[in-house]
């Protein structure tokens, strides 16, 4: 008996825009966006954005970096010897700081040198430093004193708008009924929205079917939207 080969979806490239005009404002991120947009009139030379994966931290960091000419470094890649070069433009984004996963002395050096040189630093993390165990007491005090803005889960209107944008980033126009169903059947987070859009797109391509509410019901479970 001949086996029919399974149709495989091609992993087509798509570009998610991190431009300011593509950042969708809502109650969950309004305070963070306000601080980014008021630069350089910040309350301190450094501030932190804290929130779960996919909450918009990286998008806001990209918006600020474009305005400030900032360089980027991952928290886990911080090294003391690199600090002066990283702050050479007068602005630096340190992304994805996580307890126990960065060089405390290097971060302390970043904050001290930024203050001395009147440079700006934007930190991003999933949790606030109050939850971290830090060996360097002065770093703990410095982080505790920083302005910290938390990004919270999106409300229904923002989640739906983000779903529309994520489909549009893939050059897909979908019906409102699909958006409503998906919004009501996923975790209320932007990371979940991004994951489900990718899953739906890939499955529609694999099956060579239109991307409809019926397909979403099959994948996400039955029930009224």
Residue 17: pLDDT band with limits 50, 70, 90: low
Is the pLDDT reported for residue 109 higher than 50?
A: yes
Contacts of 105 (CB under 8 A, 6+ apart): 80, 136
* Averaged pLDDT for residues 20-42: 90
The answer to pTM > 0.85 is no
Query: 26, 32, 12: which is closest to 163 by C-alpha?
Result: 26
Tokens of 139: 């770093």
pLDDT digits (tens, 9 = 90+) for 33-47: 999 999 999 999 999
Residue 14: pLDDT band with limits 50, 70, 90: low
Does the structural domain 29-150 have CATH classification 3.30.413.10?
A: no
Residue 16: pLDDT band with limits 50, 70, 90: low
CA distances from 49 to 97, 116, 131, 173, 195 (A): 10, 22, 15, 32, 22
Cis peptide before 96 (omega within 30 of 0): no
Q: Which pairing describes strands 120-125 and 148-150: parallel, antiparallel, or unpaired?
A: unpaired
CA angle in degrees (0–180, nearest 5) for 153-72-60: 30
Residue 151: pLDDT band with limits 50, 70, 90: very high
pLDDT of residue 95: 97
Where exactly are the structural domains of the chain?
A: 29-150, 156-220
**Mean pLDDT taken over the chain:** 89
């Amino acid at each position: 008996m001949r086996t029919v080969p399974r149709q495989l979806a091609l992993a087509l490239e798509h570009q998610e825009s991190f431009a300011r005009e593509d950042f969708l404002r809502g109650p969950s991120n309004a305070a963070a966006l306000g601080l980014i947009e008021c630069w350089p009139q910040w309350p301190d030379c450094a501030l932190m954005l804290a929130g779960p994966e996919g909450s918009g931290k990286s998008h806001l960091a990209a918006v600020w970096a474009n305005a400030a000419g900032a360089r980027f470094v991952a928290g886990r890649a911080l090294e003391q010897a690199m600090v002066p070069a990283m702050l050479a433009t007068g602005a630096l984004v340190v992304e994805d700081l996580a307890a126990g996963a960065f060089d405390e002395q290097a971060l302390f050096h970043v904050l001290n040198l930024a203050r001395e040189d009147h440079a700006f630093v934007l930190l991003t993390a999933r949790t606030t430093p109050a939850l971290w165990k830090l060996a360097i007491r002065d770093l703990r005090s410095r982080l505790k004193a920083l302005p910290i803005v938390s990004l919270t889960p999106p409300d229904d209107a923002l989640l739906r708008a983000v779903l529309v944008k994520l489909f549009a980033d893939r050059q897909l126009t979908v019906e409102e009924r699909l958006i409503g169903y998906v919004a009501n059947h996923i975790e209320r987070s932007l990371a979940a929205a991004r994951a489900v859009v990718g899953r739906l797109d890939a499955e529609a391509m694999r099956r060579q079917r239109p991307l409809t509410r019926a397909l979403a019901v099959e994948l996400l479970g039955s029930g009224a939207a």
